[in-house]
């Protein structure tokens, strides 16, 4: 079973319809279960629920051979931790699917690292789905030292900026 999840904060009819169309034309032959959110599009070719209780969601995720989702960081991390092949499509602000386009950068970066497959829009869903069936995500290995270094640099830069601002106020 493939699990399609779009979260619950905003509808994502473009992705739900693209996947439903792929089932309808035979690109996907495996059963698909979708958590669709409160969108207007109602799938014709897959079982779905607008929302799932936490335990139901976790069970669907666990049972899935692959996951299709919006490019939310929570879903990406969950798929990586579970070693599930994941196809993401970012929500876009211009369609009212999200408040800004941060998911575009998230999808691009995780795809560059080999962790996910990414479809920039619905026209890329079908070719990416074909790849999903053989996709083996690169395992994520957290680099704690690099993270500590970046946080330290950020804090140092913040302190320098604060000192410069303070020095500017005392000169007057």
pLDDT band per the 50, 70, 90 thresholds, residue 170: low
Write out the residue range of the structural domain in which residue 116 sits. 2-132
pLDDT band per the 50, 70, 90 thresholds, residue 172: low
Residues 24 and 89 in one domain: yes
Whether 137 is in a domain gets the answer: no
Residues 99 and 155 in one domain: no
CATH code of the domain in which 109 resides:
3.40.50.2000
Residues 44 and 66 in one domain: yes
Whether 138 is in a domain gets the answer: no
Average pLDDT over residues 38-58: 95
Residues 122 and 156 in one domain: no
Residue (of 11, 20, 14, 15) closest to 44 by Cα position: 20
Whether 22 is in a domain gets the answer: yes
Residues 147 and 80 in one domain: no
pLDDT exceeds cutoff 90 at 47: yes
Residues 28 and 113 in one domain: yes
What is the share, in percent, of the chain residues with pLDDT greater than 70? 97
Question: Which DSSP string corresponds to 57-91?
Answer: HHHHHHH-SEEEEE--HHHHHHHHHHT--EEEE--
Tokens of 70: 């919006």
CB atoms within 10 A of CB 37: 21
Residues 163 and 79 in one domain: no
Residues 28 and 97 in one domain: yes
Q: What's the chain's average pLDDT? A: 92
Whether 64 is in a domain gets the answer: yes
Residues 59 and 81 in one domain: yes
User: What is the pTM for the complete model shown?
Assistant: 0.83
Residue (of 103, 88, 118, 106) closest to 4 by Cα position: 88
Q: 98-115 burial by CB neighbour count: b if 16+ within 10 A, else e? A: beeeebbebbbebbeeeb
Residues 64 and 100 in one domain: yes
pLDDT exceeds cutoff 80 at 93: yes
Tokens of 54: 């936490």
pLDDT exceeds cutoff 90 at 60: yes
40 and 14 Cβ atoms separated by less than 8 Å? no
Residues 153 and 91 in one domain: no
**33, HSE (Cβ side, Cα atoms, 13 Å):** 15
Q: What are phi and psi of 32, to 5 degrees?
A: -125, 135
pLDDT exceeds cutoff 80 at 52: yes
Beta-sheet strands, E only, within 6-152: 32-35, 47-49, 66-70, 86-89, 117-118
For residue range 134-146, list pLDDT tens digits in order: 999 998 877 778 7
- Domain total of the chain: 2
CA angle centred on 25, ends 22 and 29, rounded to 5° = 70
pLDDT band per the 50, 70, 90 thresholds, residue 16: very high
């Amino acid at each position: 079973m493939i699990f399609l999840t779009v979260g619950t904060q905003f509808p994502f009819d473009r992705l739900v319809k693209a996947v439903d169309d792929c089932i309808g034309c035979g690109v996907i032959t495996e059963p698909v279960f979708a958590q669709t959110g409160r969108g207007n599009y109602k799938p014709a070719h897959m079982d779905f629920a607008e929302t799932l209780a936490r335990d139901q969601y976790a069970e669907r995720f666990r049972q899935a051979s692959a996951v299709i989702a919006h490019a939310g960081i929570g879903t990406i991390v969950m798929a990586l931790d579970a070693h599930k092949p994941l196809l993401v499509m970012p929500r876009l602000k211009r369609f009212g699917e999200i408040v800004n386009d941060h998911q575009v950068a998230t999808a691009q970066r995780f795809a560059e690292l080999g962790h996910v497959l990414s479809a920039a829009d619905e026209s890329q869903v079908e070719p990416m789905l074909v790849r999903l069936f053989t996709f083996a995500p690169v395992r994520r290995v957290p680099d704690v030292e690099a993270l500590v270094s970046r946080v330290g640099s950020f804090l140092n830069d913040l302190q320098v900026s604060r000192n410069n601002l303070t020095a500017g106020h005392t000169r007057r």
